[in-house]
A and B are shown apart, each in its own frame.
Chain A
Amino acid sequence: MKLTLRVWRQRDAAAPGAMSTYDVDGISADMSFLEMLDTLNEALILRGEDPVAFDHDCREGICGACSLVINGDAHGPERTTTCQLHMRSFRDGDTIDIEPWRAAAFPVVKDLVVDRSAFDRVIQSGGYISAPTGSAPEAHATPVPKADADSAFEHAECIGCGACVAACPNGSAMLFTSAKINHLNVLPQGSPERETRVLDMVAQMDAEGFGGCTLTGECATACPKGIPLPSITAMNREWLRARRKVKG
């Protein structure tokens, strides 16, 4: 396949960015999207040009590092991570636009690489259960209903890639934050910190400069792990409940 790529190039956080056009040839349909970019980069290096910087690591859809907006879609046309997208989703002769996640809370580091440390700070503000090593009771001391365990797991599947923020027209991080809150708040182990967790995490999320939620649903559509939109509703419920309890 022969493709035309229009790629966002930006030297560093302070520099202005722009789209640059590259032609790539000899692309196999079996290549992953990132392998296609590898091919471009190999050619750029040999031509003495700066290769395109992009985040990637496990290339099996679980680490959450890869983060490209492809033709306006976070992670591209399939509902998966960029690394699991293959070139057979495109046709010979296509022009493909590749951009970074765009959000004030995710400043560009270089080209397609952004800084997602805001997510880490949201977790640090309460996305954990305080259980110092050695203090744990026997694992079977507290049975957890299977439905709750399954629900916790489904929310815990979030890989922290940030596609939700990238896809949201408002750059909101509600889906990410709600995934962690729903994971922990549904478990009996998480209940002692239930109120402070949701209040602190939402406050931190706001402080990071993410946009507000207008329930467009774009986040859940883009999420490669299928975190559902009602997670946000459940977090709102938790937040209102916590406000009542803490104030009351």
Chain B
Amino acid sequence: MTFSEYATGEPITDIKAPAGPVAERWDTRRFEAKLVNPANRRKHRIIVVGTGLAGGSAGATLAEQGYQVVQFCFQDSPRRAHSIAAQGGINAAKNYRNDGDSVHRLFYDTVKGGDFRARESNVHRLAQISVEIIDQCVAQGVPFAREYGGLLDTRSFGGVQVSRTFYARGQTGQQLLLGAYQALSRQIAAGNVEMHARTEMLDLLVVDGRARGIVARDLITGEISTHYADAVVLASGGYGNVFYLSTNAMNSNATAVWRAHRRGAYFANPCFTQIHPTCIPRTGDHQSKLTLMSESLRNDGRIWVPKAKGDTRPAAEIPEDERDYYLERIYPSFGNLVPRDIASRAAKNVCDEGRGVGPGGQGVYLDFADAIRRMGRGAVEERYGNLFDMYARITAENPYEVPMRIYPAVHYTMGGLWVDYDLQTTVPGLFAIGEANFSDHGANRLGASALMQGLADGYFVLPATINDYLARHPHAEPVTDEHPAVRDVLAETEDRLNLLLAVDGDRTPDSFHRELGELMWEFCGMARTETGLRKALARIPQIREEFWRRVKVPGTGEEFNQSLEKANRIVDYLELAELMCLDALHRAESCGGHFREESQTPDGEAARRDEEFAYVAAWEFRGSGGLPPGEHGTAPGTSPVLHKEDLTFESVHPTQRSYA
């Protein structure tokens, strides 16, 4: 596939957001939405895939409303979804600090933080709902941090000037997820949710143009089954694991969204990925995942590298005047607190210059020596003790004595399935919520906003909008396995798994995943160029071809087979990676987490090109590269089609970000 190999289709003009002032649109939409009579809700089945913040909250809420929910997670328990690992906090425009926060300010910060590539209507709704989320979570017993007076504590986070982040020590995601999990558990016990754990969605069933169910595999027995419903909700998370190494959980994957994309759901802004600057560097080829450390560390730690290339002296032996505190030097007013994308890119630049530290030169120092001198070791310990312990456990280095080493890592994907204002994809009856959709973060997500979005979608937005869809389609024809559309998908799914088992080659699934990840990190990571992306686009089909020729998947499909699970996910990464590169190539501007070296200001900052690229890139699948049944998957297929959704900014005027 090359640059010219995509077609431009009809633009997307109707996103279902009502007209009128941005602050009134959500009320208007809720009023205009048709409702389902409570007595009739019991007749509707809704499938929810995933049990993270978005899926868990949606499943619980839909069940409370009276729908029959059928829910899936590949983990052994719904409580283990990866939302659990979020550390920092959750934003809400409560203005408890009386520090000038408001719904409008949260809205403004999020649109600006997203580098003007998010929809105003959606972001405003998110800011409005943020307030209700905190109420809801407190009522569920989420133990947020409190002050001595018994009221909720907040902190400032991610470079904003107000203190609007609610938190539960460094485990906010865990606590919010357990809240949703417990609400879901209550509905499971009440018989309103049929929960399928250790069951992975492998495909979407679209019947007569509407999403009517899924194909899933029981991971214990290997049994492939069909499940039918009146609507399907994907809450399956992001696709950061395309990069092999990321802060995502090992089993987080893109199969649900990618399969939905293949069945007609547009994929929006796939190249928008967030690279988090403060992760623990890799230690060798055995590295299986990367661990994030809260970016609050940048409040007191100073980031530096040696001035000289190839300086391998221990940090303590490098005198002050031979150190380069590069963030403080380049961005004197924000210093070490510049936004995530900028801090990440700067680290990459100094390492590319050969000034990186630690094994392989892939790291920079985050030094607390000054902080310890200034505040005393006790104060540092109190503030960051748990993070220091975590660092010490992983690296066996004592961060009180020697500076920490950090390096950026893939953390979050802003892109995802394209959804309208109702969170409905381009497949009628298929909804996507949480990180699985693309909706609210534009080209860069602000800290503590992912939890907010997941819960807003699950508790409040989807339960309001899905009614409208169901009310308009009250009598869905029952579908059975005999339906030709179902038979085809089932056959394809079984073929794919059998094919994987039949290759019996000489390379492990992981070796392909690692190879793809390295390629993506190199060419579609922190800084992207046309040449690099073209290289990647040329290379990915070759890896895919080799995968289908040489992969070795032991065992059978009729048993608990983790290698088969993994290989099947890699099949989808190998296709999605290509679309990510194509999207990155076509977007010849820099914005947020997407940095094209060709598009930068004279001081090396991201240069947005609003006249050309102020749109959402929604890609339509037409049969690119993957695996045509019966062949070993190298046929190029038909190029994807780009549909542009123009972004207009009525309330927040686009400006170039400046942090110097």
Contact = CB atoms under 8 A, between A and B. Distances in A.
Interface residues of B, number: 81
A123 interface: yes
Interface string B54-65: 000100110010
A208 to B, nearest CB: 14
A115 interface: yes
A187 B143 contact: yes
Contacts of A88: 396
A190 B78 CA distance: 22
A226 B617 CA distance: 48
A136 B138 contact: yes
A124 B188 contact: yes
A12 B289 contact: no
B393 A86 contact: yes
B424 to A, nearest CB: 20
A115 to B, nearest CB: 7
B235 interface: no
A57 B560 contact: no
Residue in B57, B139, B183, B506 whose Cβ sees the most chain A Cβ within 10 Å: B139
B336 interface: no
Contact of B552 (A35, A45, A132, A146): A45
Interface string B62-82: 001000000000011111101
A22 interface: no
B148 interface: yes
Nearest to B562: A53
A114 B151 CA distance: 41
B136 A133 contact: yes
Given A59-B288, A144-B150, A183-B141, A132 B82 contact: no
B542 interface: no
A109 interface: yes
Contacts of B506: 46
Residue in B57, B150, B151, B460 whose Cβ sees the most chain A Cβ within 10 Å: B150
A172 interface: no
B510 interface: yes
A127 interface: yes
Given A136-B135, A136-B138, A139-B135, A84 B393 contact: yes
Residue in B141, B147, B188 whose Cβ sees the most chain A Cβ within 10 Å: B141
Interface in A22-51: 28-32, 34-35, 38-39, 42, 44-46, 48-51
Nearest to A155: B143
A190 B82 contact: no
B463 interface: yes
A166 B80 CA distance: 19
Contacts of B152: 139-140
Given A129-B140, A136-B138, A58 B182 contact: no
Contact of B77 (A46, A120, A140): A120
Contacts of A59: 249-250, 288-289, 291
B656 interface: no
B287 interface: yes
Contacts of A48: 552, 554
Nearest to B288: A35
Contacts of B375: none
A149 B79 CA distance: 22
A21 interface: no
A45 B554 contact: yes
A189 B510 contact: no
Contacts of B463: 133
B316 interface: no
Contacts of B134: 139
A113 B560 CA distance: 10
Q: What 10 pairs across the A-B complex have the smallest Cβ distances?
A: A143-B150, A128-B182, A136-B139, A153-B143, A131-B139, A30-B283, A124-B189, A136-B135, A152-B143, A149-B146
Interface of B: 57, 60-61, 64, 75-80, 82, 84-85, 94, 96, 132, 134-141, 143-152, 168-169, 171, 174-175, 178, 181-183, 185-186, 188-189, 195, 197, 220, 247, 249-251, 283-284, 286-289, 291-292, 390, 393-396, 459-460, 463, 506, 508, 510-511, 552, 554-555, 559-560, 562-563
